Amino acid sequence: MTQQQPPPAAIAAMIDATNAGDTEAFVASFTDDAYVRDGSREFHGHAGARDWDRTDNIGVGMHFDVLSWSSSGAEDYVVTIRATSRRFNGTGDMRVTLRDGRIARLEVG
């Protein structure tokens, strides 16, 4: 079921950090062993989240608006966002898996 309230805290923290341009808060929203996949590109751990952030997120002036979100399992979520930046503009889904209150997996596109 699609939720109207804010998404879970870790997802909201990642989105808020992106919108604020706060790389340290963005990276802190991920687990130490996080996995990020954007299309065919893969990133691992905090270093990978930081790299993706630099090339595809805060580094290109990204701003996210949450349009909706739903739970697809105990710790699995689909977040539909409108993204605007100097590099990418559009609407799409992010698939997010949480663990221990942080993002363990983020899949974009």
- Report, as an integer, the average pLDDT of 39-45: 96
Number of domains in the chain: 1
Binned at pLDDT 50, 70 and 90, residue 1 comes out as very low
Binned at pLDDT 50, 70 and 90, residue 30 comes out as very high
CATH of the domain at 41: 3.10.450.50
Give the Cα-Cα-Cα angle 97, 88, 13 (nearest 5 degrees).
Answer: 35
Please give the backbone phi and psi of residue 46, each rounded to the nearest 5 degrees, phi first. -65, -40
> Which domain does 59 fall in, by range?
2-108
The answer, yes or no, to whether residue 38 has pLDDT greater than 80, is yes
Of residues 4 and 3, more confidently modeled: 4
